[in-house]
Structure 1
Amino acid sequence: MTRYPALILASVLTASSLQAQTTAEARESLQAGQYEDAADAFRTILENDPSSYDVRRDLIRALLATGKYEASELLAREAPAPSSFANTLGEILVLRGRVEEAAKAFQESIDANARDALTAEVNLAELLFSQGEIDEAMTRFDRFIDIYNTSDGRLSATELVAVGRAVRYLGRTNPDLFQDALRAFDEAASIAPMWHEPRVRAGELFLEKYSSTDAQSEFEKVLGVNPRHPGALLGLAKALEFDGTSDAGRVLGQLLEINSNHLEARALLASQHLTRERYQDAYEQTEMALAINPNSLVALTTLAGAHLLTGDLEKFQQVRERVLQLNPRYSGLDTKLAELAVQTRRYGDAVTRAEAAVELDPYSWTAWGLLGMNELRLGDVEQGKTHLMRAFEGDPYNPWFKNNLDLLDTFERFEIHETDHFELFLHGTESSLLATYLAPIAEEAYESLTRRYGGEPLLPVRAELFPSHADFSVRTLGEAGLGALGVSFGRVLVMDSPGARERGDYNWASVFWHELAHTFHLAISDNLVPRWFSEGLAVHEQRKARQGWGHQVTIPFLRALAEGKLKKVSELNDGFMRPDYPQQVIFSYYQSSLVFQVIEDRYGFSAIRQMLEGYRRGATTAELFE
């Protein structure tokens, strides 16, 4: 009989060691992104030991990764010690838009001094910030500096991430603190190398500060271990979107296969559709996002953008008012809509929305920058420079602000030559000679296009020609590297001068004609003409102006046609905005120009004018082609 206790002890130890082994295997599955397997294993273990904090926490993580929010909430509520999961419950409630309940849950965790109370502190501060209680939130964030400074290196990885998150917000008034936020994330990653959140947070911070390369490096480190990590996939998609590649949509597709309820992925996909002018697709994605969280500021912002870009101003205003009820100081909606306006060539709207953003939040440096850059695009150089300087003072990490300000410092070296309809802004080293040739071409193009379109843009048209392609690129995008030769913002044209290119390599007169055609298209359509329509029509105008001007048929184009690699006419905007391969943009110029050659040959040029006027009235391309 004396042997039975030993046998019982042995069996208990064996069961305990087996459970430990199973838990370790489940955790390995979780870290590798095998969420379904991990959830099954954790659920089995939890049935045998409902009091295990770590197992319940990891089961909730596995369920959240796959969008099972209701099951996650139930697990948090059923915890034997409710306050130990109050913070987790609050995070789940935030995902569903139940912010009042979330605030109470965070406060419960703080009051109970739960093991994740510091995370609850930063969660509550972020929640207050998102509701427009910015002063209260910033006071709470500021406490984290003292927490870090008095910790003597004793903070855990989760506590360091909380510090980094708080200090990141403080960077809006002190940009030097972004470095401290990054340091906190790096320290957390070194303490817990298999916990992925610190690297994801660091990647998000790099992307916020315009370092896409560093951001992608952080996200790819996570994806190398867990290729299904939702946060890393979302971050990578944002970085690819930042770089303007077509791969962002593919990554979002991967993420939504893992978690079809990922709201930010839905909203980002909807935003992509808006920039491609695929408005119905944008509405569908936004509706799915709002079904997850009807109070999401991100999703409501996208919905407002869809209404604004489709001309439904009444619904736009209703959504904007709803957003401001949720957060009276939320500048993100107007800032995002200013960005969308730029991407759809509505530069006046961009100024209007940026002005609204800075009125709501004078610390929105992105909005100040958008305001300044778009004032420059509309020809208001002095006002644009003033607002860019203010933006750069608040956000000295922004390369576009700095590059534009550096370029503006060189404007004193340029001279202005006036003609009947133009203000030619030319560099002093070439202005006299270039004006002699440019002025007659400009006036000829103006008279020709006025006869064809039967209307005039705002005058005078300002044409800026830069002897440095890098300067032209900065004037256009804020950074070097633009592959185009010219851009029209409406009554302001910007392009390379002949001096920016090798002799014989550049038909500047043809490019000028092309860009001036855009000026007419934007004026007649009130900036509502789609990109593919205006580009194709401008190439068509080049070929009308002179034999040999404009894009011509090439063997690679014919090969792409034979291989089925050209876009349908209804998808030509994607050929410019989201090309599938490098040459597709060039092919799309020529292909879209053929559309207008056919229309003018069959129906006369008046049909094209009527289509431009139709866009001004709010008609869609499908309606105009019926």
Structure 2
Amino acid sequence: MTLRALALLPLLLVSAHAQTLQQAESFRSAGRYQEANTAFRALVAANPKNPEYRVRWGRLFLERFNKEEAANLFEEALAIQKDYAPALIGLALVAADGYDVKAVELAEKALAADPKLTEAHELMARLALEDNNPKRAAEQADKALAISPKALDAMAVRASIDWLADKTDSPWMGRVLEVNPKYGEAYATAGHFFVLNRRYEEGIKHYRKAIELDPRLWAARAQLGVNLMRLGEEVEAKQQLELCYENGHRDAATVNTLRLMDSYKNFLTFKTDNTILKLHKKEADLLHPYFESELKRAIATFEKKYKLKLDRPVQVEVYPDHEDFAVRTMGMPGLGALGVTFGNVVAMDSPSGRKPGSFHWASTLWHELSHVFVLSATHHRVPRWFTEGLAVHEETAASPEWGDRLDPQVIAAIKNKKLLPVAELDRGFIRPSYPTQVVVSYFQAGRICDYIAEHWGFGKLLAMMNDFARSEPTAQVIEKELGIKAEDFDKQFLAKLEAETKGVIEDFDDWRKKLKQVADLSKAGKHDEVIPLALAIRDLYKDYVEAGSAYEFLADAYAAKKDNPAAIAELERYARVGGRSPVLLKRLASMLEETGRKRDAALALERLNYIFPNDAELHNRLGGLWFGESNNAGAIREYNAVLAMKPMDRAASHFNLARAYRQAKQIDEAKDQLVLALEAAPGFRPAQKMLLELSP
């Protein structure tokens, strides 16, 4: 090889690498992702010390829904070159996709490494608007535009700020179209923010505009499909999602939503004038009367309370498989783990999808229905903290035994001064800064609404709701309706909350240590020692009703000493503070029945219908108690529930239902049940005898 050739070799190698990178990016742009992946792999293998190639490869993975591999490649790039700005912004994008608070920190690091990184400013603008801070979002977008006047995503954020403020025509969209007449991503960006603010119909409208500009914008089309499905527009939703799937856009939301929609053939739909109830056919007969009754009761209550009549039926979907429910909430930050509301559509777990005693379905239903009314009343223009807080408030307003209790996570947050100012409380739902902050924010928002109702009256909450409908900010609404600045409200609220929880917080460590001692004493059968120690700690933390509570140990100890009145009193106290264990509530019912308090026994079991109704023994026992108390409607409902669970002894179950109908003087229905009993067991003499008695 000549010296000239040797001198040219490095340049030739650089050229070859450039061509390979160009080829990889060409494959990526053309949607030939497998070939792009192969090209990037070869490029990185040939250039192991080049951080750019790893970042480019990582962006391919990010584009193709593989955040984990993308993050690994970005980290590898940083290992090669510390503070490499493109890798930092890549990690920021991964974090932002999961609403991780680290996204802001990573974007700031990227800007520190490269102050002229336009994409970092654009991401900061997006994150600020997600945090409901349009002023900061505009500032960051403007910084991006100062660096690059054609920064399309910065313009898209600016346009979104205008549209969210109900400015129908934004000059920023005109500027976007001047730069790129086909840039549908700008409308898709707005769609994202509308959905994040629960303004689903407007989100759908903007996703439609996005794909009008660029029909191959599959991410926007997929979000259109997902949000159509959220609002119950299932036919078009499926069409849009199938089109995405057929064209290779197979992210988790698209694939899982299509799978969920395929499962709808297993659901039955029950309609009334103002309700649509979707239940899985394996439990529809059982759950239908309970859910529909509670649904009707809640709607009637809220119509009066919120002075609002809904303009369309409420649709409630109940999922026995929690993974199906999780599909409904995918990609949405800060939503409840048990139920979710999209306009007039509510999706929630079935009690059968949860461990018995861990889930109060009626409380969840009331919570979600409160959202339906508040979102409707405010035209979906309401801070998340307010609608969540009001929904939590409504749970205990429906029944003092309902709603979530003060838990150790919240105790720790109060102790460590981690509660947010009311004007910033939405951040706790959208981008939590510690693992339990969403749970803490639900509690704080609920207590704020309790505090307002207690000190200013429920009417002030309605007035605030009307202010939010006009898009007035939280601080302004607090001052307008409550007559104090938001900062002073925070001080007053926190002072009251800290005073209420002072004892629990101060005694928590001692309570936990002594509860362990009580558990050990109970296990050893030392009941005389259990009672004084459990009594001493029970009221230090009254809200603790999980397994192994002081209430349970006391009831066990009293029962072992044959002091049934004391055991009953302890279990009644447990029930009143929100205890949900089917075992303990059934034990309470048995003890009450033994003492002749049959109505109270029935009421104890009635609680379980709101917690875990998928229990044939419960319905059989409760049916018998209500029959004995001449509560014929209750007995009929419970014996029907037994039959819905397909009991082994169908003859006896039909006969019990016949007895209840007879006592209710519904003779024709009684006869029908007797015939069914005899079909199941032709020689069943009690049914033969009653049928003769009822026949003329």
2:147 equivalent to 1:292: yes
2:18 equivalent to 1:158: yes
Output the CA distance in 2 between the equivalents of 1:308 and 1:296. Answer: 19
2:360 equivalent to 1:504: no
| Residue pair 1:473, 1:481 contacting (<8 A) in 2 also | no
Output the CA distance in 2 between the equivalents of 1:298 and 1:247. Answer: 21
Match of 1:215 in 2: 70
Output the CA distance in 1 between the equivalents of 2:201 and 2:124. Answer: 25
Output the CA distance in 2 between the equivalents of 1:622 and 1:294. Answer: 34
Quickly say closer, same or farther: Cα 1:458–1:161, change in 2 above 3 A: farther
Which of 193, 197, 200 is residue 52 of structure 2 equivalent to?
Answer: 197
Output the CA distance in 1 between the equivalents of 2:49 and 2:403. Answer: 56
| Residue pair 1:490, 1:523 contacting (<8 A) in 2 also | yes
How far off is 1:395 after superposition? Answer: 2.6
Match of 1:313 in 2: 168
CA offset digits 1:388-433 (Å, max 9, x no partner): 1111112343221111111111111100112342100111001111
Match of 1:457 in 2: 310
AA in 1 matched with 2:146 = A
TM-score where L is the length of structure 2: 0.65
Map 1:14-29 → 2, pairs under 5 A:
none
AA in 2 matched with 1:280 = K
Output the CA distance in 2 between the equivalents of 1:481 and 1:405. Answer: 24
Output the CA distance in 2 between the equivalents of 1:472 and 1:458. Answer: 26
Which of 589, 594, 613 is residue 447 of structure 2 equivalent to?
Answer: 594
| SS at structure 2 position matched to 1:502 | coil
Match of 2:424 in 1: 571
| SS at structure 1 position matched to 2:425 | helix
Match of 2:291 in 1: 438
Match of 1:251 in 2: 106
Match of 2:599 in 1: none
Map 1:288-437 → 2, pairs under 5 A:
288-314=143-169, 317-437=170-290
| Residue pair 1:399, 1:478 contacting (<8 A) in 2 also | no
AA in 2 matched with 1:593 = G
How far off is 1:352 after superposition? Answer: 0.2
| SS at structure 1 position matched to 2:269 | strand
Map 1:468-547 → 2, pairs under 5 A:
468-477=321-330, 484-547=337-400
| SS at structure 2 position matched to 1:625 | helix
| Residue pair 1:212, 1:243 contacting (<8 A) in 2 also | no
How far off is 1:154 after superposition? Answer: 11
How far off is 1:483 after superposition? Answer: 6.8
How far off is 1:492 after superposition? Answer: 0.5
| Residue pair 1:267, 1:298 contacting (<8 A) in 2 also | yes
| Residue pair 1:471, 1:480 contacting (<8 A) in 2 also | no
CA offset digits 1:91-132 (Å, max 9, x no partner): xxxxxxxxxxxxxxxxxxxxxxxx79xxxxxxxxxxxxxxxx
Output the CA distance in 2 between the equivalents of 1:261 and 1:480. Answer: 30
AA in 2 matched with 1:557 = V
Map 1:41-52 → 2, pairs under 5 A:
none
| Residue pair 2:51, 2:80 contacting (<8 A) in 1 also | no
| SS at structure 2 position matched to 1:465 | strand
| Residue pair 1:186, 1:198 contacting (<8 A) in 2 also | no
Output the CA distance in 2 between the equivalents of 1:518 and 1:592. Answer: 14
Match of 1:38 in 2: none
Output the CA distance in 1 between the equivalents of 2:464 and 2:112. Answer: 40
- Structure 2 residues without counterparts, runs of 5 or longer: 1-7, 480-696
Output the CA distance in 1 between the equivalents of 2:240 and 2:189. Answer: 18
Question: Alignment length, in residue pairs?
Answer: 471
AA in 2 matched with 1:291 = A
RMSD: 2.2
Output the CA distance in 2 between the equivalents of 1:493 and 1:555. Answer: 29
- Structure 1 residues without counterparts, runs of 5 or longer: 1-51, 55-114, 117-152, 172-176
How far off is 1:184 after superposition? Answer: 1.2
How far off is 1:480 after superposition? Answer: 14
Output the CA distance in 2 between the equivalents of 1:608 and 1:478. Answer: 30
AA in 2 matched with 1:364 = L
| SS at structure 2 position matched to 1:493 | strand
Output the CA distance in 1 between the equivalents of 2:457 and 2:249. Answer: 53
Match of 2:681 in 1: none
Quick check: which has more Rg, 1 or 2? 2
Output the CA distance in 2 between the equivalents of 1:573 and 1:618. Answer: 15
How far off is 1:548 after superposition? Answer: 2.4
AA in 1 matched with 2:227 = N
TM-score where L is the length of structure 1: 0.72
Output the CA distance in 2 between the equivalents of 1:585 and 1:154. Answer: 50
| Residue pair 1:276, 1:574 contacting (<8 A) in 2 also | yes
How far off is 1:481 after superposition? Answer: 13
| SS at structure 2 position matched to 1:429 | coil
- Runs of 4+ in structure 1 over 3 Å off: 478-483
Quickly say closer, same or farther: Cα 1:260–1:457, change in 2 above 3 A: farther
Which of 170, 183, 202 is residue 30 of structure 2 equivalent to?
Answer: 170
| SS at structure 2 position matched to 1:436 | helix
| Residue pair 1:368, 1:388 contacting (<8 A) in 2 also | yes
| Residue pair 1:493, 1:516 contacting (<8 A) in 2 also | yes
| Residue pair 2:306, 2:373 contacting (<8 A) in 1 also | yes
How far off is 1:484 after superposition? Answer: 0.8
Output the CA distance in 2 between the equivalents of 1:600 and 1:565. Answer: 24
